[in-house]
Structures are given as structure tokens and as C-alpha cells.
Chains A and B, each alone.
Chain A
Amino acid sequence: MIITETPEGCITIVALNGTLDASTAPELQKSPAINNASQTVVIDMEHVDFLDSSGLGSLIGTLRKKRNMSAETLLSCMNERISQVFEITNAHRLFHIFDDTSAAVDYATQLNSRK
């Protein structure tokens, strides 16, 4: 999996490209923006071709870590296959999910301005 981090003001867009499953999920946890628990991130899933429960678990782990430090994990651009995993597990209730990354960035910026 290829992970690209792009700073956007006080948040970071983390763009994922590839598969997020049991063999690649640990790579996400090594990403600097993910590891920086106090930094809000927008995870752009547009180029994630497959996600299983291990990948979902790594996203939930990220969310939990960030919320413990009053930061957020926003998701954007999920395809219908990935959305199905979130709906079956009810994980869509935990996350703010956006159709496009710019909307997620705008929301994250508003959140940060309220702090």
C-alpha cells in the first residue's frame, strides 16, 4: 500500500493507494500523521481497492487514538465495496464520512477553528 501525506493547514490528508487488509494494515499505523495522535487527519480512500476487517480495525484504532487526544479521523471517497464493510459492521456510525476530500478538509478546518 502506498501512503501519501499532504499537509493542508492544520490538518493532514492521508491518501491511501492499494489494499488495506491483514498484511498491509500495520503500515497505516506507522504513518507519521496517524502516529501523531493530536493531529486531525482526513483519510482519502479513493484509491483503496479492497478493505477487510483488519483494515477496518486499523481505521478504528486510529480514530480511538486521535479522539483520546481530542483530534479527529475523517474518511472520504469510499467506494461501494468499502462502504458495504462499514454498513455491515455499523462502523459508519463511528466516523464522519464524506463523498469528497475537499468537503472533509473544510469540515476538519471548521472543527479545528472551534478549539
Chain B
Amino acid sequence: MNSIITLTLPSDLIFTRFASQTAEKAALLLLNSCDADTGNWQFTHAFELAVSEAFSNAVTYAEQHSTIQPVVITFIFEQQRLTVTIRDTNQEFSTETPAPDIDSYPERGYGLLLIRTLMDSVTCIRENNANILSMSKEV
């Protein structure tokens, strides 16, 4: 299956679950389309969790900097690979931030660690004053 689906959501945390559940369904769709094991919860949960993290990060940073614009999520289906991009117009950020030190009981900062661990590849580029976070994983 080679398809692209684009979803535009308001920059509001109330849509976090909608975004993450859509990602889970997209991953399940890919598993179905390539006759893979649809019980592969690690694959579907990876996208559910990664998109939850990326979407809530985008919304939270927009609220902090008063730059509330819609968040655009794109699902790119290629053979056995699913790529999800999250586009926001917040300030530039890096995906190279260090993992939090768990022994100091931090309440924040785990999102990128989870995304990097769960996905095969993660990139972030700055284009036309927008951040485009791209997360990809193969079945």
C-alpha cells in the first residue's frame, strides 16, 4: 500500500487521544495491508504513543509561546513502512536533548526518549518557519 493521509487538528490537548488513536489505527491498517500479524501490539502501540508525545509537545509549546496554529499530522504508507510527520509552527527545537535523570524524579522530559526508543528513525527539520518531526518504523 502506498498512500498518504493528512489530518489537521486544532492546537488543543483535548485532541491528543484522537491523534494517538488515529495513529494506532493507521499502524493497524498497514499491518493489514501487508498481511503482517495484526496482533503485533508493539508496532501499533509505538505509533499510538509516539504521536501522543509529539502532538502534546506541539500543543504545549504553542501555548507557552502564544503561537497557536493547527497541528498537521501526515501518515505516509510505503510497503511495510509507516512514517508519521507532525508539523507545527512553534519555535525551533532539537530532538537531541538528553534523557532525563530518573533518580531525580523529573515529571517531564520523557517524550523524546520514548519516541526515539520506539521508532526506527526520527528526524526534525525546520522548513518555512515550521518544525516537521518525522517518525518512521517498519513492520
Contact = CB atoms under 8 A, between A and B. Distances in A.
Do the two chains belong together in a single complex? Answer: yes
Interface of A: 19, 21-23, 50, 52-54, 56-58, 60-61, 63-64, 80-81, 84-85, 88-91, 93-94
Contacts of B100: 89
B20 interface: yes
Given A22-B16, A57-B107, A91 B102 contact: yes
B28 to A, nearest CB: 14
A90 B102 contact: yes
B114 interface: yes
A33 to B, nearest CB: 19
Given A21-B17, A23-B56, 6 more contacts: A23-B13, A50-B48, A53-B108, A85-B49, A85-B114, A88-B114
Contacts, number: 72
Contacts of A21: 16-17, 20, 52, 56
Interface residues of B, number: 29
Contacts of A23: 13-14, 16-17, 56
19 contacts: A21-B52, A22-B13, A22-B60, A23-B16, A23-B56, A50-B48, A50-B49, A53-B108, A57-B106, A57-B108, A61-B107, A64-B107, A81-B41, A85-B49, A88-B113, A88-B114, A89-B102, A89-B113, A94-B105
A21 B55 CA distance: 11
Most chain B Cβ neighbours within 10 Å, of A52, A57, A94: A52
Interface of B: 13-14, 16-17, 20, 41-42, 45, 48-49, 52-53, 56, 59-60, 100, 102-103, 105-111, 113-114, 117-118
A4 B22 CA distance: 28
A22 B41 CA distance: 22
B112 to A, nearest CB: 9
Contact of B114 (A22, A53, A80): A53
